[in-house]
Structure 1
Amino acid sequence: MPSLSDRIRLLRGSVFAVSLSLAVAGAFGTNAFALSELQQIPGQPPQQQQSEQPASDQPPAEAEPEAEQSEPLQLPMPDPLIRRDATTTDTAEPPEEKQATQPETPVEVIYDIEKVPEPVRRMRELIVEAAASGDIERLRPLLGKGPTQTQVSVVDGDSDPVTTLRGLSGDSEGIEILAILLDVLATGFVRVDAGTPNETYVWPYFVEKSLDTLSPPEKVELLRIVTAGDFADMQEFGGYNFYRAGISPDGQWKFFVAGD
């Protein structure tokens, strides 16, 4: 009969053998399970076997084509606050201002008295001679009578023209008005209402020319007739408003007046 110590050794050996068997069986069992997944299982169709493969081993599915993107929705633009069509008047600039900005029609200024009809040249020469004499009465035969009487005032009246001119002068003899008449007839002149019954040769040409367009020499010519203060007042008024003289093509002295 074995002793107690021999039985303990046999018991320890049995426990070690069982533990070793379990460890070996666990190791090989795990590997067998892993290998069974890679090997084909007998009696099972290949397609079914492949479907049981892990998802990580399956080839990636082809990406479905993206749906064709539709164009973004186009919203209409809001109507403008100010419509500019054929039925709407442009209110940005009144018609009067547009006309004011249009270029001025060039004024033909005449200095050569030989370019006018002979009756005009003759009447102008007679007026200059009478005014230069210093005797205002020498203007009387040139002023006419009745319907052909020269207009010497913007106010219609039957007063004697010589008396009227003398009253307009700064002196009692009418010398100042004679000097003004000479200065006016010494400037350039213009032809107005050409080809009509009212055709007239008018001195000075400033009557028809915008004062804002005067050149420096023209301003000098104007200031031989008026003062700088008068010129400033005319610019504010909007045009020349001092004395002017007019002679018709047939030699009639039509007017010698001041004002508009």
Structure 2
Amino acid sequence: MREQILAAVHAGDVGELTRAIEWNEIKPDFGKDAGSDPVAHWKATSADGQGREVLAVLGNILSLPPARLAIGRDPENTLVYVWPYLAELPLDSLTPAEEVELYRIMPVADARAMIKAKKWTWWRIAIGADGTWHTFRTYR
């Protein structure tokens, strides 16, 4: 699934994410604002109006290692991978190297606001060990 999503990133076409979405039996959680058309939502959300900013975010967060959470229901595929791993760390105790990674994926002002609030509010993507795309959204 990660590779399918990255293919859309490398193509520069947010519409290509439809292929990855269709691989799922159940539509991933893209947030309440996404409605029934996540591609239109991402285009509207992106500053460029084409969804390329969202693709850039996806590419950036997927370039970092994931957090591995044992929360899946299937005993053989219990792991859920969450990108960026930083979303699962206590934000007020990041190491200097982790802060650098945080600044690589988001504006510094947004990062500082999250650290101050001690709450992850930026984009986050979760994919199950079985390849199920669970979520891609912000947590405001």
Task: Name the TM-score, length of structure 2 as normaliser.
Answer: 0.87
Separation in 1, partners of 2:97, 2:24: 40
CA contact (8 A) 1:151 1:255 kept: yes
Could you tell me how far apart the structure 2 residues matched to 1:243 and 1:162 are?
Answer: 15
Rounded to whole Å, the distance in 2 between the matches of 1:190 and 1:163 is: 29
Which amino acid counterpart does residue 19 of structure 2 have in structure 1?
A: P
Shift of the 194–221 alpha-carbon distance from structure 1 to 2, 3 Å rule, reads same
Indicate the residue corresponding to 2:14 in structure 1.
136
1:175 equivalent in alignment to 2:15: no
Deviation, 1:216, is 1.0
- Asked if structure 2 preserves the Cα contact closer than 8 Å seen for 1:152 and 1:165, the reply is no
Question: Structure 2 regions of 5+ residues with no counterpart?
Answer: none
Q: Find the counterpart in structure 2 of residue 32 from structure 1.
A: none
Instruction: Provide the residue aligned with 1:190 in structure 2.
Output: 67
Residue aligning to 1:255:
135
In structure 2, how many angstroms separate the alpha carbons of the residues matched to 1:161 and 1:174?
10
Equivalent residue for 2:95, pick from 205, 208, 215: 215
Name the structure with the higher helix share. 2
| Distance in 2 (alpha carbons) for counterparts of 1:223 and 1:157 | 26
| Residues 78-157 of structure 1 mapped to structure 2, 5 A cutoff | 123-144=1-22, 148-153=26-31, 155=32
* Cα pair 2:92 2:116 within 8 Å, conserved: no
Q: Which amino acid aligns with 2:8?
A: A
- Mapped contact 2:39–2:51 kept (Cα < 8 A): no
Query: Which structure is larger by alpha-carbon Rg, 1 or 2?
Result: 1
User: 3-state SS of the aligned residue for 2:68?
Assistant: strand
- Provide the C-alpha distance between the structure 1 equivalents of 2:110 and 2:125, rounded to a whole number of angstroms: 18
List, as ranges, runs of 4+ consecutive aligned residues in structure 1 with deviation greater than 4 Å.
none
User: CA 1:158–1:227 in 2, change beyond 3 Å: closer, same or farther?
Assistant: closer
Segments of structure 1 that go 5 or more residues without pairing to the other structure are 1-122
User: Which structure's residues are more often strand, by fraction?
Assistant: 2
Where 1:151 maps in the other structure, the secondary structure is: coil
Higher RCO (CA-CA < 8 Å; seq separation 6+): 2
The answer as to whether partners of 1:203 and 1:246 remain within 8 angstroms in 2 is yes
Report percent identity of matched pairs.
34
Aligned residues: 137
